[in-house]
Amino acid sequence: MSETSDIGNQLRLDLLREALPYIQRFKGQTFVVKMSGKATEDQDNLSSLAEELALLHQVGIRICVVHGGGKQLSELAMRMGIEQTIINGRRVTDDATLEMAKMVFAGTINIDILSALRNRGIEAVGLSGIDGNIVHAERRPAKEVLNRETGERSHVDFGHVGDVVEINARLLMVLLKEGYLPVISSLGADAEGTVFNINADTIAAEIAIQLKAEKLILLSDVDGIYLRAGDPESKLSQLTADQADALVNDGSATGGMIPKLQSISELLRRGVHTAHVISGTKRNALLSEVFTDKGTGTMIVA
């Protein structure tokens, strides 16, 4: 055996030793993992993520996946010539956009994730928030909104966008107890069956609270939270819920990071132990965040 391969083997064994206390600590705990559209659009990346999720599942961690698909929805809208309006990271959802969201979220993306997990031997179950009345929602009322990009205030009707009223986690608890891995798309409905497009980060946060999850892990388009966008030196390895609020209030957070941070600070105050923002496209980022001391992204604590 060469000296190089011997060093490589030693590094791998050291990593296993580092992972062991985390495996012991988290066995039997629940993690809610939210996938961004960018994380699921590339099949090789999705396959790699499925392998990492399978490993967490196999060592006894209960995994519940929530996904949106804003990137794929925007691309489909562009192909079909349907104009999209996004204000402060929230999409205005008209009739046509809702129909596309049903096709993309509950259809293509959900099935692609299930297929990747099946390839790794995981018994995954595809759901939307409408299945089993998991996500009870109500239509978001029109309201005056400050557009952080333009600085202008306007009266906005978000259309078929819903706010979560209640999470019914009974079906999810049954599935997790029986060893299944639920995969939930970001749609919900009211008592009359009216369907709404709901922010996936919000659904993931609310489900994490109801499942009394140990962690909410957000697989994002970025590999953490930055004080200054584009400046790698400004990445925060850890912050508190109060600091997350401050980033939103002082304008440091922009775009889709705003609803993400708002959801995180809320869920930490309601019982989830930690939240993590990590890259959804960097190989082994999920395993590194869970099983190593250093991690790869940003951990937010109460």
- pLDDT tens for the chain, 302 residues long, are 555 566 656 667 777 888 899 999 999 999 999 998 888 989 999 999 999 999 999 999 999 999 988 889 988 989 989 888 887 777 899 999 999 999 999 999 999 999 999 999 999 999 999 999 999 999 999 888 877 677 788 888 899 999 999 999 999 999 999 999 999 999 999 999 999 999 998 999 999 999 999 999 999 888 888 877 777 788 888 989 998 898 888 887 777 678 778 878 888 888 888 999 999 999 999 999 999 888 889 999 98
Give the model's pLDDT for residue 271. 85
CA distance 163 to 196: 8
Fold classified for 26-301: Carbamate kinase (3.40.1160)
66, β-bridge pairs: 34, 184
Give the model's pLDDT for residue 8. 59
CA distance 246 to 23: 33
Nearest to 38 by CA among 71, 12, 8, 67: 71
Give the model's pLDDT for residue 11. 64
Could you tell me the pTM of the whole model? Answer: 0.89
Task: List phi, psi (to 5°) of 208.
Answer: -60, -40
Q: Where are the domains of the chain?
A: 26-301
Give the model's pLDDT for residue 236. 85
153-156 and 225-226: which strand pairing?
Answer: unpaired
CB 296 within 8 A of CB 283: no
| Lookup result for tokens 């600085």 | 151
| Lookup result for tokens 């929805």 | 73
CB 104 within 8 A of CB 78: no
- What are the residue ranges of helices labelled H in the chain? 3-26, 37-41, 43-58, 70-80, 95-101, 110-119, 170-177, 200-210, 241-249, 257-269, 285-291
CA distance 141 to 248: 22
30, β-bridge pairs: 62
Collapsing DSSP to helix, strand or coil, 157 comes out as coil
Give the model's pLDDT for residue 85. 85
Give the model's pLDDT for residue 231. 78
Task: List phi, psi (to 5°) of 65.
Answer: -100, 135
Output the six-digit token pair for 140: 């978001």
136, β-bridge pairs: 166, 189
Question: Counting beta carbons within 10 angstroms of the beta carbon of residue 101, is it exposed (0 to 12), middle (13 to 18) or buried (19 or more)?
Answer: buried
| One-letter identity of residue 122 | I
**Can you say whether the dihedral through the CA atoms of 71, 75, 80, 82 is positive or negative?**
positive
